[in-house]
Amino acid sequence: MPAFTVTVPETPSPNYVIVKNISLASSEKTVKEFFLFCGKIKEFELIKDDDEAHQVALVHFERESAAKTASLLSSALIDDEHITVSPYFESAFPAEAEKDADATETSQEGKPKARVAAELLASGYLLQDQIVAKGLEYDGKYNVTSRLTGYLNYFQNNGKKRTDHKMETGWRREGSAFKIQEKVTNAAQTAQSHAQAALQTPTGQKVNDFANQTFNQIAAVHYEAKKIQLDKSEKTTEAAPAVATENAPVAA
């Protein structure tokens, strides 16, 4: 284990996660901003790992719920490297965790996991669909309400085409200024294609409910990400962008 200078408590705490396989090209600012989407950070340290081929980070979150969200983000892509995220204290992070006591808060920590995934996608980070699925599974397990329900309805009805046209037009208009990456759009299109293709097969038709709960919901997360990015673009055309505080991610 790399030697961090951050003082780690002797008593296991679920608020700490360790992040490995970070590119040497990734700055502390880049990695920290990524995890600020999960919630407020009390302490953060980024150092080279033992073989000096990658970097490793120790993140101490203010709330356990933020650490739980972070733990779902293994395989996320930061600067062309798929990171791995795990609890620093395995014993303090049971597999079957109880519902977060602060899940009803409107803070970043209290947002549905799928909403956080959508915000990350909207900011240009590449998340594999298995990551999105884990967030959806967590939200479903604890019956977390989400605006995804509304976007899923858009995704499944005729109004989606009109909304998509508005989104794509806005993305083309603002894409250069806000560095919107094609991989985000491509990911949304791929998820939608997978959902539609799966429903056309005999197996897909037999498990239609499962498909609706998985493929379509994953596509809905990508769809929400597109809407978040469009909303951000429209707001920045009306006023100068606000400066983000250290503990508040750009995507709200």
Query: Which among 46, 70, 104 is the end of a domain?
Result: 104
What pLDDT sits at residue 180?
A: 39
**Tokens matching residue 166:** 């508005």
Q: CB neighbours of 83 closer than 8 A, spacing ≥ 6?
A: 19, 20, 21, 22, 73, 74, 75, 76, 77
**Do 237 and 154 lie in a common domain?**
yes
Closest CA relative to residue 167, chosen from 153, 154, 150, 148: 154
**Do 54 and 83 lie in a common domain?**
yes
Type of residue found at 141:
K
**Do 100 and 118 lie in a common domain?**
no
**Do 125 and 99 lie in a common domain?**
no
Summarize pLDDT for 127-148 with one digit per residue, the tens: 989 999 999 888 888 777 556 6
**Do 100 and 18 lie in a common domain?**
yes
Percentage of the chain surpassing pLDDT 70? 60
Query: Which among 67, 85, 104 is the end of a domain?
Result: 104
**Do 181 and 97 lie in a common domain?**
no
* Contacts for 43-48: CB closer than 8 Å, 24+ residues apart: 43/6, 45/4, 45/5, 45/6, 46/22, 47/2, 47/3, 47/4, 48/2, 48/24
Type of residue found at 240:
A
**Do 34 and 142 lie in a common domain?**
no
**Do 140 and 230 lie in a common domain?**
yes
φ, ψ of residue 16 to 5 degrees: the values are -105, 135
**Do 117 and 242 lie in a common domain?**
yes
Number of domains into which the chain is organized: 2
**Domain residue limits at 89:** 1-104
CATH (domain of 12): 3.30.70.330
Predicted structure pTM score: 0.71
**Do 142 and 55 lie in a common domain?**
no
Summarize pLDDT for 54-86 with one digit per residue, the tens: 999 999 999 999 999 999 999 999 998 999 999
Angle 105-222-21 from CA coordinates, rounded to 5°? 80
**Do 15 and 127 lie in a common domain?**
no
Judge whether 114 and 39 are in contact, CB under 8 Å: no
Query: Which among 69, 104, 139 is the end of a domain?
Result: 104
